[in-house]
Amino acid sequence: MSQARRGRVVAHFGREWAVEDEGGRLVLAYPLAKCRELPCVGDWVQWEPTDAEHGRILEVLPRKTLLTRPGRSGNLRPVAANVDQVLVVLAPEPAYDLLLVDQYLVVCENRKIDTCLVFNKLDLIPEEHRSMLLEGDLAPYRSLYPILLLSAKTGEGMEALRAALKSKVSMFAGQSGVGKSSLLKTLVPNQTIRIGELSASRHRGRHTTTSARLFHLPEGGDLIDTPGVMIFGLAGIDPPQLAFGYREFQRLIPHCRFADCRHAGDAGCAVREAVEKGKISTSRYQRYLKLLEKLPQIS
């Protein structure tokens, strides 16, 4: 009789995946050859045990969403599945890179993943300058995305973040040094314990090179952590998708004169016209043009 059951992939270490069964127990499993998709963190899978601590993955269940990164041989590798929202973290230092921020937003828009901007290290900004924060560089984003202002260090604003994470599968993205791991430590106390148990008891610590993990939040919901800077890249994004990823362009695109308008100086472009009339942000539009140039050229 088949022992197949449902589980969830909560970590990935090289050739093994940690699968959590419905009772919350972890086993190490590998996918069978007939398993059509490579599993990734956040996946729901059908699996069967081989002994008390090991199992094999028979099937990756259909995914709601998928984030990928470019692999070594140019193909796309899955990084995290079933993510509901990506929180793009930025901070006063290191200096924020809005081109990177837009890139995350574009990818998520096209993958039907919600996004939110998290401005961390608020403690570094004197009280009297805080009101200016949302009137400067971040102003164009205010009508497009929720923005949370907070500090992992002082705890200010963390309640709003906890509320935003509740009952959802979330992930942080952002450049190195903005405070992603500090936020994770605050949100998930004792985060290393369970995975630590797995590696200590069975695999002599070689699990330190894990690529991604899923943590359960005490308030409900999950947080996926991907070490290092998570590079979604723009691989797989074509020019129409790039334009679609700029939310404020979406309602204008149907009004461009040509269906294949690239919104880059094309005649009769409704996006350009809105920029010229000051109806959409020039800085966002400039970044769109930069990303358009960066897109892998399709010949």
- Binding footprint of ligand GDP on the chain (CB under 6 A): 120-121, 123-124, 151-153, 176-182
263 counts as binding Zn ion under rule CB under 5 A: yes
Q: Which of ligand GDP, Zn ion, none interacts with 152 (beta carbon under 5 to 8 A by kind)?
A: ligand GDP
Backbone phi and psi for residue 174, each to the nearest 5 degrees, phi listed first: 150, 160
| Amino acid identity at 276 | E
Half-sphere exposure of 110 (CA within 13 A, CB side): 22
256 binds Zn ion per the rule CB under 5 A: yes
Considering only 67-75, 187-195, 206-214, 248-256, which stretch makes contact with Zn ion by CB under 5 A?
248-256
Residue (65 or 120) nearer to ligand GDP, CB:
120
Q: Return the range that interacts with Zn ion (CB under 5 A); candidates 41-49, 107-115, 231-239, 254-262.
A: 254-262
Strands 85-90 and 114-119: parallel
Q: Binding marks (x or -) toward Zn ion, 270..299, rule CB under 5 A?
A: -x----------------------------
**Using CB under 5 A, which residues numbered 147 to 186 contact Zn ion?**
none
Shortest distance (Å) from residue 230 CB to ligand GDP? 10
Contact between 263 and 288 under an 8 Å Cβ cutoff? The reply is: yes
Task: Say whether residue 41 binds Zn ion (CB under 5 A).
Answer: no
Rule CB under 5 A: say whether 269 interacts with Zn ion. Answer: yes
Structure-token match 């690239």, residue found? 262
Helix (H) / strand (E) element for 265: namely none
SS3 at position 130 = helix
Residue 269 contacts which entry, ligand GDP, Zn ion, none (Cβ below 5-8 A, type-dependent): Zn ion
Rounded to the nearest whole angstrom, what is the least distance from the CB of residue 110 to Zn ion in the complex?
A: 18
Decide if 242 contacts 106 (C-beta within 8 A). yes
Least Cα distance to 63 among 15, 111, 115 occurs for: 111
Rounded Cα gap, residues 140 and 284, in angstroms: 7
Residues that bind Zn ion (CB under 5 A): 256, 261, 263, 269, 271
